[in-house]
Amino acid sequence: MASREIVRYRSPTRGAVQAVTVIFLIVFLIWTVLPLLIMLVSSFKELLDAFQLPAVGDWGDVGVMFDFKPTGRHYVELFTEKHFATYLRNSLIASFGSAAVSVSLGAMAAYAISRAQFRGKRDLLFWIISTRMAPVVAVMVPLYVIFRSSGLVGTLPGLILAYTTFNLPFAIWILKGFFDNVPYAIEEAAQCDGCNRWQAFRLILPLVAPGIGAFIVLCVLFGWNDFLFASIIGSGGAKTLPVATAELVQPVKIQWGSIMAAGVVTTVPMMFLGLLIRRYLVAGLTMGAVRE
Amino acid sequence: MAADIAHTPDEARRDIARGARTIDYTPNAFNHQPARYYLLWLMLPAIIVLAGISLYPFFWLIYMSLHEVQLAPGKSDIWVGVDNFLRLFSDKKFASGWLTLFKYSALCLSIEVGLGVLVAVILNNSRLEKVLVTIFLMPMMMAPMVAGFLYMFLYNGTFGWYFWLLRSVGVLEGGTILGDRGWAMFAVVATDVWQWTPLIALITLAGLKRVPQDQLEAHMVDGAGEIRNFISVTLPNLYPFLLIAILLRFMDNFRFIDTILIMTGGGPANATKILPTYLFDVSFKFFELGRGAAIAFTLLLLTILLGLVLTKVFEDPARKLKTGGGG
C-alpha cells in the first residue's frame, strides 16, 4: 500500500490558495443551506413578517429575516382546513405501494436475470434501462389515454402503476448488480444440503437485505417526490402532497406561508430517509454504476 | 438391508401393505426441472408487468401519433397518417424546444460539473468531508417541485431574498427575475445547479478515492507539481465517472420538468420552454394527444440513443468503477 503522506511546504501561494478554498467552501455551504433555512423560517412566519425585506443595498439589516414571532398557524391550517392528512395518506400509499410492488417483483426478476444465461439478455437489460430513462411526460401521454379508458385516472392503484413504470426497471437493474456480487457457490452449497432452488434463493436474500431495504427507500423517495404523474394521473381522487402544494397557488393570492409549510412537510421525511440510506445513495442515484 | 428398500411403486405398495410406515417426502421437485425454466418463472411476473406499462403504452403511442385522438366518449380516433409528424417540421416551437433543451442542459451540466469537481477536490481527504457531504446531500432529497416553489419564493420581485441580493449587489437593474427573458433561463438553471451539484461532487469523490496513489507518487517523483499531477493523473482517472455523471444528469434534465413547470411554465415568451415542457402543454393543456404522441416519439428516440450509450458505459467500465484502482 502506497503511503498517502505527501510532504507539503508552506509558501505564500499555498496560503493564498488555502484561504480561497476555505472562502469558496463557506460560500458553497451558505448557497446550499440558505434556501432550506429560508423555507423553514418562512413556514413559521405570519404573512406580513414573511414579506419583510431590508432596503436594497442595506446589508446591515439582514437580521430582519429572524425578526418575527414564530407561529405554527400554517401547519395547523394545512392539517385542519386543507385536508393535508388525506394527501399525506395518499402520498404514503402511492409511494410505498409502488415500492413494495417494484422491489418484490424486481428482486425475483433481478435474481433470475443475474443467474441465467440466455440469448437476448443484453437486449432485455437494454429494454429495462431505457424504460427507466424514458421522460416522464412522454410516458404519460399514452398512459393517460390507457388509464382513462380503464378508469384508473384519479385512483391510487393507477398512481401506483404509474410510479411502477420508473420504479420497477430501477429495482430490477440495481438489484441485478447486487445479486451479481453474491457468489453462486453459496446457493450450490445450500442445494447440496437439501434446499430446493426457491429455498436457496431465500437463503441468500439476507445477504442482499441491506441493499434491498435501501432501494425500497429509494423507490419510496422517487414516488413521493413525483409531481407530473400525480398531477395528471392522480388528479381528482388521488391527490398527493406535491399536487396539493401546487394547488395552494390561487389566482388571487399565493399562500406562501402554507406553501413553505407544505414544502417542509414534504421534504423533511425524505431527508431523514436519505440520511438513513446514505451508504447506498450514490449507487442508487447512478443506477449502480458508481459505488462509494 | 439395502435389498429391502422399495425401488418401484409396486414394491412400495407392497411394503405399505405389509405395514411399512410412510413419510411424506417429495424429493426436491424443483431440482428436477432444468434451471432455466425455474429462472424464467421468477422473471416472468416482473417482465409481464413491465411489458404492460412500457411496451403496451409504446405501441399505443405509435397508434396515437398516427391519429387525431378524440377524448370525448363515443367518438373514435381519426386516421391522419404521418400528418402529426409532418406538422412538426413547420412547428417553430418544436424546433426551439429542442434548442432550448440543449441550451438548458449545456448550461446546467457545465456549471454542475465545474462546481462539483471543485467541491469534490477540496473536500477529498479533508477533516470536514463527512459532515459537509451530509449537509450537501440535503437538497437532493427535496421534491423538485418543492425546490421550484422555494426558488420562486426567493426570486419574488417584492419579498424574495435572492431578488434583494441581486439588487443589492447591483447586477439586477430592475424588473423581475422570472419575468425577464435573459434572467429566467439562469434562474431555472440555478435551481437545478443548487439541487444536483452535490450529486456530481459525490460521484467525483467516489472517483477520487479510486485514483491510484502509486501513479500519483511515481509522477511526483518524476518531478510533476500538484497541478500537473491533477491534470495528467487524476483527471484521466476521473473521466469514466464524469461521463456517467454527465449522461445521468442530461437524462434527468429532460426526464423531470417539475421545477420549470412550477417556476415559469416555459415562459416568459418561451425562453425556458424546453421540449418536454412544450410536450406537456400540447398534451395536457390543449389535449392534442395525437400531436403530443408524435413529439413524445421523437423524445423517446433520444432516450433510446442515450440508453444505448449508457448500457455500453455501464457494462465495461462499470467493473472498473467498482473494483479498479488503488482504492
Q: Do B161 and A53 touch (CB under 8 A)?
A: yes
Residue B118 pLDDT more than 60? yes
Residue A71 CB contacts under 8 Å (≥ 6 apart), including other chains: A44, A45, A46
Interval A143-168: pLDDT, tens:
999 998 899 999 999 999 999 999 99
Q: Do A144 and B149 touch (CB under 8 A)?
A: no
Residue A249 pLDDT more than 90? no
Residue B316 has what pLDDT? Answer: 57
Q: What is the total count of domains within chain A?
A: 2
Q: Find the CB nearest B141 among A129, A256, A270.
A: A270
Among chain A residues, the shortest Cα distance to B139 is held by: A32
**Closest Cα partner for B143 from A276, A38, A240?**
A240
Strand, coil or helix: A16: helix
What CA–CA distance (Å, rounded) separates B235 from A157? 48
CATH of the domain at B206: 1.10.3720.10
- Reported confidence tier of residue A8, pLDDT bands at 50, 70, 90: low
**What ipTM does the predicted assembly reach?**
0.91
Q: Do A140 and B283 touch (CB under 8 A)?
A: yes
C-alpha cell at B296: 413524445
Q: Are A173 and A198 in contact (CB under 8 A)?
A: no
B234 falls within a domain = yes
Q: Find the CB nearest A259 among B39, B149, B258.
A: B149
Statement to judge: residues A140 and A266 lie in one domain: yes
Strands (E), A217-261: none
Statement to judge: residues B138 and B13 lie in one domain: no
Statement to judge: residues A53 and A192 lie in one domain: no
Statement to judge: residues A50 and A158 lie in one domain: no
Chain B CB within 8 Å of residue A170 CB:
no
Q: What is the total count of domains within chain B?
A: 2
Instruction: Tell me how far the alpha carbon of residue A70 is from its chain's centroid.
Output: 30
Interval B29-62: pLDDT, tens:
444 455 667 888 889 999 999 999 999 999 999 9
Average pLDDT over residues A81-101: 93
Statement to judge: residues A234 and A119 lie in one domain: yes
Interval B119-154: pLDDT, tens:
999 998 888 888 999 999 999 999 999 999 999 999
What CA–CA distance (Å, rounded) separates B54 from A169? 10
Statement to judge: residues A255 and A237 lie in one domain: yes
CATH of the domain at A104: 1.10.3720.10
Q: Which of A74, A92, A127 is the last residue in one of the domains? A: A74
Residue owning grid cell 386543507: A82
A6 falls within a domain = no
- How distant is the Cα of B43 from the closest Cα of chain A, in angstroms? 4
Residue A1 has what pLDDT? Answer: 44
Statement to judge: residues A202 and A273 lie in one domain: yes
How large a percentage of chain B has pLDDT more than 90? 42
Angle at the Cα of A72 from the Cα atoms of A69 and A74, rounded to 5 degrees: 110
Interval B258-267: pLDDT, tens:
999 999 988 7
Residue A110 has what pLDDT? Answer: 93
**Closest Cα partner for B161 from A78, A260, A250, A69?**
A260
Which residue range(s) make up the domain with B7? 2-65
Statement to judge: residues B53 and B111 lie in one domain: no
What CA–CA distance (Å, rounded) separates A277 from A289? 17
- Reported confidence tier of residue B104, pLDDT bands at 50, 70, 90: very high
Q: Which residues of A touch B199 (CB under 8 A)?
A: 282, 285
Which of B140, B141, B204, B278 is the best residue to mutate to test the A interface, defined by the most A CB atoms within 10 Å of its own CB? B141
